Amino acid sequence: MASQNDKKAEKKPNLFVRIGRKLKETFSELKRVTWPTFPKVVKGTCVVLVVVVIFTVAVTVINYGLDKLLEVITNIKGIE
């Protein structure tokens, strides 16, 4: 009989209690976060946008070059 009582005592709390605990832990962690200042966010966003533009241009140039190379090799015009 003691083992049955132990099993009941070790039983997981219901779903809503576990979700509530997880939300409470999450919000307590968010209070400890050091959030970046607005100028840092703007600077980081600008860096990301510049890198995206550079890679877009690079991929476009490479694509155009490979397309022209394929035309030279196969003598076939691309769809225009």
Interval 3-59: pLDDT, tens: 565 555 577 778 888 999 999 999 999 989 898 999 999 999 999 999 999 999 999
Report the predicted TM-score, pTM, of the whole model to 2 decimal places: 0.56
Contact 30, 23 (CB under 8 A): no
In a domain, 13, yes or no: yes
pLDDT for 4: 60
- The number of folded domains in the chain is 1
- Cα dist from 6 to 3, 18, 26, 78, whole Å: 5, 20, 30, 75
- Domain assignment present for residue 80? The answer is no
51 belongs to a structural domain: yes
Query: Structural domain of residue 66, as residue ranges?
Result: 2-74
What does the alpha-carbon distance between residue 58 and residue 64 come to, in Å, rounded to a whole number? Answer: 10
Does residue 79 fall inside a structural domain? Answer: no
In a domain, 67, yes or no: yes
Identify the pLDDT of residue 60: 98
Residue 77, pLDDT score: 63
| Residue 69: inside a domain | yes
Token duo for residue 48 = 């990301």
